[in-house]
Structure 1
């Protein structure tokens, strides 16, 4: 499918502006510098919903990635296949004014505002592509996908990074939520160093703020952990098979 830009209503544009203007002011003190730099590179503002065609021209030059329009949440096989081929699946619909504060299914603000800016960082997208290739390879194994989803959840969606200015956010699930942006950096949740085994042992819930967040020191650290992720998951798959 395609993003049909002229179909966006005045309310759609207003909702985007409200969400952008509400979230952006707290990001200079909360978001990873790479996210803020990425926002500038791809020209996202509160004045207009991003045009995928324009954004893709920039992304392809920077890292070879592009936004791939989808109607909503896609099944795991297609999800991993697309990202293994440098295509980030993003919905084109925007929540209604009555849904500003809560939404069960991710809309365009989450998919595009929160995810796309970091696709300008090469080490980050190399990590994203690699774990997506694993997902495509293991798609028939439910337990493997379950374990891999924990890696994705605690990095791409809810990851934190340590920078010179302090603890910062790179996870899109946090960056699209005003409440979780504040909560994740507070003293209330648990903060752990990035550790593959620990993440694989840590379940998560989608219906509440996270209790646990894992901290990386760099995006290169993420990418360099790829062999360990594959090794640790394959080890657990063998252990599970031996008990069957």
Structure 2
């Protein structure tokens, strides 16, 4: 069957690909042969850096900007996407862009709550809706969720609610789109150190505490998640759909004694 990880000839859209996990996913898909559309919200420089990194490695990518969570966001995104596609189909969609947790119940404002759902739930839903007419049969849709859906963290209640919503979306869309050979899955990272959030893990003892509650005994890295997404985007994962894949290294599986 050849190399089932090869994505040559396919086109991928990765939202929120200007930094962090999204950037790593874009780079990994390009390394496997896909042409990658690098979406960014506000970080145009980061998106350009992602495109440059892919180009230096011999891959192909271009950037498209659109702020998500505002009126007209999906239309703006796909105006840029379709202009760059120039009639070519889309094969892979990775819904990675997301707003960060807004805080616990006692301090979250209505505006923050609405923004979380606009970016983390409404945008992915309508991006899928808009992308499907461009999709070839046998495509791949992957949405980034979070282990926040399987553990109780009072500081992330509203954020976890948004991720629970996209996990349900993935399951139901998998059932709907399977007749076209399109697989739909979610990937749930745990504590993942990136260039953007690195300072958070510098709090005394925090990184050690998280590593101590993780089966694989370390913090995650963007490449750890990107490899899982690249697998799901490939033919090797053709028989996996409607699933949430935990990519946390075994965070909070139970006591390590």
Give me the TM-score of the superposition, normalised by structure 1. Answer: 0.29
**TM-score normalised over the length of structure 2:** 0.28
Structure 1 or 2: more helix by fraction: 1
